[in-house]
Structure 1
């Protein structure tokens, strides 16, 4: 009985960790796409030729 409970808790912890990793992956992808979209509207050549 104790071994099956250990396996249960270990499996539950693995599932929770996998869920957290998946959520963070998609959150990072969304912020990265926002960043790239901003870079598309502000090309690098504008940064290089701009004098303050």
Structure 2
């Protein structure tokens, strides 16, 4: 029945959009973040003195 085709495409589109949004929401909240480790103040970086 060709009359049912728009309803089928609408259901597929809603299912796809819901799963797409769910995927991005889960990636946003569950993704392991790369945290920048701050260097401690007790650790001094050695600066090279190029002037003799």
State TM-score, norm by structure 1. Answer: 0.56
Aligned pairs for 1:9-48 (under 5 A) are: 9-36=4-31, 39-40=32-33, 43=35
Q: How well do the aligned residues superpose, as a CA RMSD in angstroms? A: 1.9
**How far apart in 1 are the matches of 2:4 and 2:16?**
18
Count of residues in Structure 1 that have an aligned counterpart in Structure 2 = 36
* Structure 2 residue runs without a partner (length 5+): 38-52
Q: Which entry has the higher C-alpha Rg, 1 or 2?
A: 2
Task: Report which of the two has the higher share of helix.
Answer: 1
- Structure 1 unaligned blocks of 5 or more: 1-5, 46-52
